[in-house]
Structure 1
Amino acid sequence: MEMEGELMKDSRKDSKGRVLKDGESQRKDGSYEYKGADGRRHSVYAGTLKELREKRKQAEKNVEDGILFVNQNILLNDVFDIYFSGKTELKESTRSNYKYMYDKFVRMKFGMRKISLIKYSDIREFYNYLINDLSFKPNSLEIIHSLLHPTFTLAVRDGYIRCNPSDGLRGDIKKSHCWEKPQRHALTEAEQGAESS
């Protein structure tokens, strides 16, 4: 069997004799490729046939759910910039403060991640880093969360991701760092009388 091109095109079997499905091929280097279509051509690569089929299954599910392959490389920064450009109702001082907080604490590190790969645990780890290593206080973390949560919500609505990985995280962080405000109770008449004496 001659392997002139990048792929073994004449064979519908891999080098181990396993039958390849439509769209699957084995590359010259022994790795595997799946070419699918979701309105645009795209390829998925893997080192083993089993891994390729898992990736293929995920790619097909993404297409079913309206999550296009092309969206998988979008960074958190890209979606934040789209979200923030639409926040025209903010006062200039608020806008400047939010932009400063995002640019200083998110953009160069966490913001460089592909949004499709960010999980709840990644955001929790990032928030804990801000609290433990940078000594963030509740109000500062609240600003970061108020920027990230709606950014992820926009990513869901625009089909970049399935669900918002930051849902429920604010309460989790507040609880784990004992930032819960104590509940206030109204004073009874007797307590009010004692206070005024």
Structure 2
Amino acid sequence: MTDLTRRGFALSLVAGAGTLAACGNGIGGRGPAVIDARVDATLQEMYRLYPNTAQLAQKANGMLVMPLVTEAGLGFGGAYGRGALRVGGVTVDYYSVVKGSGGLQIGAQQYAHVLFFMTEAALSEFRKSPGWAAGADLEYVISDRGDSVAADTTTVLSPVLAAVFGRAGLRVGATLEGTKYTRIIP
């Protein structure tokens, strides 16, 4: 890649994320009370749809709840959402998620997701980092098809579990993606 191509790619991702942030994805309201209310509603819906997630929540050292993430792409894509980190059922920090992607893709979708930090080390690493990228140690417990959660010994020993649910819209393609979570002050 030339410098111009890398620069163009980076600018496309930034412009795409900025557009998504302003597109009225339901997270436009400011203030901690708005985010907390949406986090509460998201958790209630997750527990209603997937009752086994309540057991995961009880075992988790903390949960990052993103009530609504909006994602869109046409060649290059991006996603944005805001949420809260809960430890012991109490909000301790607020975070944004930004996702960039490139490849064969078209469409837009919205979804909610919850990250369950199953070990104290995973939670501590997340909280200490200036920006945490979702990595190989992330295991999904609810698939795109809405299967219910099966928390077996292997799953519970994973450091970070993810539940993605409430999908609306259509996005198809094959992409390379990167996701980053950053602490914010709402």
User: Which structure has the highest strand share of the two?
Assistant: 2
User: Shorter-chain TM-score: which interval?
Assistant: under 0.3
Q: TM-score, normalising length from structure 2? A: 0.28
Higher relative CO (CA 8 A, sep ≥ 6), structure 1 or 2?
A: 2
User: Which structure has the highest helix share of the two?
Assistant: 1
**Which of these two proteins has the greater Rg computed from alpha carbons?**
1
